[in-house]
Amino acid sequence: MVNRVHVKNSNSRKDKGKNKKFMNHLTVEELIKAGAHFGHPTHRWNPNYKNYISMKKNGVYIIDMEQTSQCMIKASEELTKIVRNGGNVLFVGTKKQAKDAVQQAADRCSMYYIVERWLGGTLTNYGTIKKSIKRLLILEKESSDIYTNLTKKELSMLERERMKLADLHRGIKDMKHLPAALFFIDGIHERIAISEAKILGIPTIGIVDSNTDPRDIDFPIPANDDSMKTIGLIVNYIADTIIEATGGTAQVDEPMDSDIISADKEETEIVGESVLEESTELETTSDTEKEPKEKLELISEDEKVSEDVLEENQEK
């Protein structure tokens, strides 16, 4: 699904290259196929979300995908402005369904991410976080003086500390200053990150479901925040927007060598079958041609025998 999105992005670049303005595009059909229109049950909803709801079906709210598409366009325009001005985007997805998709998308567009537990004060108390990152960098150097003249127990304690800090700060280890924008998955799950961004005036962009108050987010994207397909589709959309804003191009997956080999095998099999059919047809035709020849030979032999018999009778 993501591959089709990339193809659409490249086509949109060709069509709108004259305006020199990036406009990433996802169709409503693609969002519906990914299950982005399913909200929470009707008893678990936020009344402030009613503008993004189209109807209720089987006790579940259905999200209006037309508004979702418009919100995604607004979010992509804001991200384009931020990235072109030299700003960085922090991806936050600490829930289980979003971890892999968020990390891969952030790595692809060379942005920072947090997929483990959100540490309180990551933004508002960033000075302390920077000290923790410096500690991690010291622990990662094997030639550091901190490892000299230590017992095995002390070395194991430092190793555990290094692994813990590496898990917490692996996505922001190279972040030198605060991000210019925050992109998150699930407004309720990441409410601490959103509140810290609001205090510092950092614009927030993220996927919000029907149980979330969209008024707390600057650029909400109404969609199903529990579906891995939906999360992957929207996160890759955001990553493509950032890549285009930085002057790159979205990657389109090319066919693998194994696929080409399998296709060649299928062609050879088809050709082999056709050759076998032709050979069998030739054999049948040759057999049919042989039969009348054999019959003619038998008839000629019978005629010879009958002539010999007649000559003997005449002699008698």
Give every CB contact of residue 243 below 8 A, 6+ residues apart in sequence.
Answer: 108, 109, 249, 250
Specify the pTM.
Answer: 0.69
Q: What is the pLDDT of residue 214?
A: 92
Give the DSSP letter string of 246-283: TT-----PPPPHHHHHHHHHHHHHHHHHHHHHHHHHHH
Contact 113, 91 (CB under 8 A): yes
| Two structure tokens written together for 260 | 């080409």
Q: What is the pLDDT of residue 218?
A: 94
Q: What is the pLDDT of residue 85?
A: 92
Q: What is the Cα Rg of the chain in Å?
A: 36
Averaged pLDDT in 10-residue chunks for the chain of 316 residues:
42 40 72 92 91 91 93 93 94 93 94 92 92 90 80 89 89 92 94 95 94 93 93 94 81 42 46 47 48 47 50 48
Q: What is the pLDDT of residue 224?
A: 93
Q: What is the pLDDT of residue 94?
A: 94
Cα angle 62-66-72, degrees, rounded to a multiple of 5: 105
55 bridge partner residues: 62
| Two structure tokens written together for 242 | 């950032």
